[in-house]
Amino acid sequence: AITSAPVEFGAPAAAALVEDLVLRDEAGAKDAADLCAAGGGGRVAGDLLRELDRVSGESGDSSAKLVAAFVDHLGQRAPSAAAPHVASLKAQLASTHYGLRSAVVSALSSVVCEDAADRHAEKEKTLLADDARDALLDLVVERSRDASHWTRAATMRACAKLVEHRAVPRDRYADVASAVCGRLKDKTAQVRKNALDSVCALLAHNPFAPVLDPAPHELRADALQAAAVADHASTVLRDRRRAEAVLAKQEDDSVEVEQVDEALEDALQDERDKRRVELDYHVGVLRLVHCVEASHGIIDRLARSSTASDAVGAARVFGACRAFELPSGKTGLRAVLRLACSSHDAVKAEAAKVVAASLDVQACETGSHKALEAAKRACSLIKGCGSVDLQCLEALIAAAEKAAGEKKDFERVATPKLVRALWDVASASKVDASTRVAACRFLATCCSAVGSKVVDGPALSDAAQFVVVEDSVDCALAEALARLVRDSSRNGQKPELVATCALLREALFAHDSGDGHWYGACDAVLAATFQLEGDPEQCVGDALRSLAEKAQLLSEEPEGKAGALARCLHAAGAAALLGLVAVEDLGSRMKKGAQPVKKVVVEGDDDDLANAAGGAGEDAERDARLLRLVEEKIVGVKADGFVAALAPVAAKVASRALARRGAVPGVLHRSAVLFLAKVSCVSRGVCEEYLPLLITTLARAPDALARQNVAVALGDLASRQPNSVEPWTDHVYGALRDSDATVRAAVLATLAHLALNDMIKARGGGVAEVALLVVDGDDTIRRRARAFFEELHKKSTAQSSPIYNLLPDVVSRLSAARRGPVTPVVQEEEAPSSPKKTLRFSVAPSPVQNEAAKKLRFSVAPSPKKRVSILEEKDETLSAVDFQAIMGFLLNFVDKEKHAEALAEKLCQRLDATKADDDDAVAKARKATGDVDAQTASRRDLSFCLGRLMLTEKVTRKLAESIALYKDALPDEGVYAAFTAIVAKARKLPKVDALKELLDDWEAKLLAGHERRLDLDGAGPAAVPQSAKKKKAPAKKRATRKKKVVQSDSDDEGGDALAENVPRATRTRPRRGVRA
């Protein structure tokens, strides 16, 4: 009736609808929208919108939610009815209610989508004109910067809907993409999620091409641009000639004017227009690609986010980039592989889906040709993966297979069809070497994830035939096949595995090869030999003997080959570790197979405790006997085997590399160092003998890779020989100042692993070295250093905090820190000192080893008879900005009031300790600090730390009562400014009225101290506010108790100066804890 009523009844009818339907409830608002969609040609919608605009202006935001429901439903059901009244909808964008603004954005996007449907249907009259459509697009895109995150999220959904309905013209596509990518950094997870979905929609529904590789578009755009410039230049020259001819004809009628060929000009203009359209097309593609590529770093960070929606959305975007062949798709897929380590099942499921889609695993089921293409895509993926990426792929395949067994919604990556196609590629004769290697690496990864069921024996034998081609060894293929054999042999022996292992062993150890893949292949082949062969010691011994002959170690010639010796040392070290594993496995099997013996315990017998212990004593004796076997037969100082005889050779090689730069090739130096590290893991005696050499290598080896290898090896040594490594921990912390970023990263990873797993004790000096990395120049190291302290803080309990216990010594060391790379100084032979100060090269072999080493001939320089100190450093001071950045970060972890109060007392005592510097201890430690002296710089550092502490009422009272400790530092402008800032912050505390009198008195004393007129010696209680007089005695008693608690909390050796306040006049020696 309303739709057919006369026009003059429109306003009263609209008022009735608004009152009876729209403003009644949400269901009524939707019914009103359905009524508008039923008919009326948009007249009813216009009347309702005008009435709602009047009503909402009178009632404010009370009914905005119901109006928003009406507008949203109207846009969905009747966009053509809402289109004539866009002005009314636009006015609602000024509403203060975010729901109404979000509904208007959704309705406007529906109107634009309806217009796009009309254009696609090629109707004679579209819903909107071009200018009106562009204006609505501008309104929608503008809301991406709305103040409410709800409206921003609705805008991202609207952009995705516009793109999916192909309602965005080509010339506006990049603008929408820029607005969407700008919201990837939004602080709200829902907005980021919708933005990531919109990026996927932008790529999936782009109006340009199915392949968005920018390289061909850039080439074509450059060519068109050059053609346009040349065409413009020719047109200008032609017009100039014509103009000159016209002027000449005016002077001389005999001059001929070139006639214009209109048909030719029209053809040329059409050609120019086509080139312009094509250029706009390529420019649009490049703008879209560059917009997405510029957000690659942000998307990569979102993939590492702990928020599941961020990781899932980032994985989808990287999958879309891979599908459309964007440059970020290749690196982004490796970021997707890292999601296999996520703790969220949804993230791992999405990662598996993206990887399977990039390989097109589903197409494998349609035929062998599609399976072969999927196998080639898998090989292409593997070619860009490192060892970490392969481990992540292995975890993803294992998770997918496990979920498939449990019938979960999880996409399988390694399907049987894909595995079969990979075996066909690996065994084919017309496949290039790199593709064959990639196929074998993928199969090895699958085998490690799901077991030997993926192994095809005949195909494995066929692939192994390509390891040696024309007396040349393909070490990369040998490494891939060796890993495949090693992982397959875990489930039992198979004839084809034994034959392939023997073939690989012969290829690696009987042929010369300098390929870097040889070392990984050697490790895998030796591991497979110990698992498959009945007498692995004989096989490994033959292999080592072959390598020794190539290195000329068993000949009478004086010089050996560096590469052959490096491979010999590497294989010997791997054999030593595998021998240890075999011995321990033997002990475990003996323990499981031993039958417990029941012993009768006779009362009163002297051995009743031993008899009652029974099997425990036998197990301990068996373990000790096995360890003695390892010491005496494999690598110990009394061993006479080949591996033990190589130890002095490796030590001499390592010492020669330290004595003179370039004297030893890098690969030989690294192999020697790793050999010493491996045999040290096997034997404690060998570890104590060669550990000083390893530490010295970490300190001053010219090869950064050698230092990095030692840093990683020390982590294994600390777990195997903790008592031997513990005295050298300080030197390992010193390597955090290495000039090479990769070495610093390796040392930090090792120390973080050991400290966070309680394998070494985190001390103040070492933690101070880690704290310096918070401001390191390398972004990765900075993130890892911050993560170390965050994980260390998680070990806090209700009563203790490891970071709080270490902070006093960290403040002391950082205040006097000198930042610079480690520069060891070689000193002449002096009196022996402690291991923590000096390193000695101890490489002299035992008499038994000397006898066994007589057959080994390798000309190296003797061990240097000097000691090396790694505690000498360059004189580079830590800037005040870096100090404040470090301490500002660390003090955030002091989140308990009692810890903040105790630390405030300690820092005030340190301020008092800096009032005299008779022995120049502070100046020697701090050196030059710019425009201030060392004493002033130290005071400013400590006052800055006080200002960054968590401020509470108790902390404020403690600082005010301790003014006698820092009154001598108040004349300095920096110190005074820090304390006045603390007072200003304290005035903002809740319930500040109880502190008002105290703060006023404290501020007056601070000013007096700054003006050098504060005298507290004879003031006594008169200097304390009236409210605090009655509580003076109890406060003193509490301070005494707190002093004891503070001294017991600090577990660092160098915190004495912070734990107690000793008068300066009574000190006769430098204060501990001042020097770095």
DSSP 789-816: HHHHHTT--SS--HHHHHHHHHHHHHHT
Contacts of 219 (CB under 8 A, 6+ apart): none
The stretches in the chain having pLDDT less than 50 are 558, 596-614, 818-875, 917-919, 921-931, 1018-1076
Q: In three state form, how does the secondary structure of 20-35 look?
A: HHHCCCHHHHHHHHHH
Judge whether 199 and 292 are in contact, CB under 8 Å: yes
Phi (first) and psi of residue 825, to 5 degrees? -120, 125
Tokens of 650: 């490796």
* Rounded Cα distance, 751 and 760, in Å: 8
Q: What is the pTM of this model?
A: 0.73
Count helices and strands in the chain by DSSP H and E runs: 51, 5
Sign of dihedral through CA atoms 1024, 1025, 1030, 1035? negative
Distances from the Cα of 202 to the Cα of 162, 342, 369, angstroms: 10, 27, 31
How many CB atoms lie under 10 A from the CB of residue 827?
12
Distances from the Cα of 277 to the Cα of 175, 209, 281, 645, angstroms: 18, 15, 6, 77
- Parallel/antiparallel/unpaired status of strands 468-469 and 472-473: antiparallel
Judge whether 901 and 1042 are in contact, CB under 8 Å: yes
Q: Convert the pLDDT of each residue in 186-223 to its tens digit.
A: 999 999 999 999 999 999 999 998 999 999 999 999 99
Q: What is the DSSP letter of 18?
A: I
Judge whether 537 and 836 are in contact, CB under 8 Å: no
Q: Which of 877, 874, 883, 871 is nearest to 768 (CA)?
A: 883
Per the listing, tokens 């990049």 go with 174
Q: What is the DSSP letter of 840?
A: E
Q: Which of 568, 681, 564 is nearest to 631 (CA)?
A: 681
Tokens of 1006: 């601070």
* Rounded Cα distance, 524 and 806, in Å: 44
Judge whether 1023 and 1005 are in contact, CB under 8 Å: yes
What's the Rg (C-alpha) of the chain?
39
CA dihedral (382, 384, 390, 392) in degrees, to 10, reads -110
* Rounded Cα distance, 763 and 607, in Å: 44
Tokens of 168: 């965005």
Max intra-chain CA distance, the chain: 145
Q: How far apart are the first and last CA of the chain?
A: 91
* Rounded Cα distance, 360 and 373, in Å: 9
Judge whether 291 and 181 are in contact, CB under 8 Å: yes
* Rounded Cα distance, 832 and 847, in Å: 24
> Helix, strand or coil for residue 909?
helix
Q: Which of 957, 1035, 939 is nearest to 997 (CA)?
A: 957
How many CB atoms lie under 10 A from the CB of residue 1034?
9
- Parallel/antiparallel/unpaired status of strands 839-840 and 867-869: antiparallel
Q: What is the DSSP letter of 633?
A: I
State the pLDDT at residue 175.
Answer: 92
How many CB atoms lie under 10 A from the CB of residue 441?
26
State the pLDDT at residue 514.
Answer: 62
> Helix, strand or coil for residue 907?
helix
State the pLDDT at residue 555.
Answer: 57
Helix runs in 594-728, H state only: 608-613, 615-630, 642-659, 666-682, 684-700, 704-720, 722-725
Q: Which of 812, 805, 990 is nearest to 902 (CA)?
A: 805
Q: Residue 863 corresponds to which amino acid?
A: S
> Helix, strand or coil for residue 290?
helix
Contacts of 973 (CB under 8 A, 6+ apart): none
Find residue 868's DSSP bridge partners. 826, 839
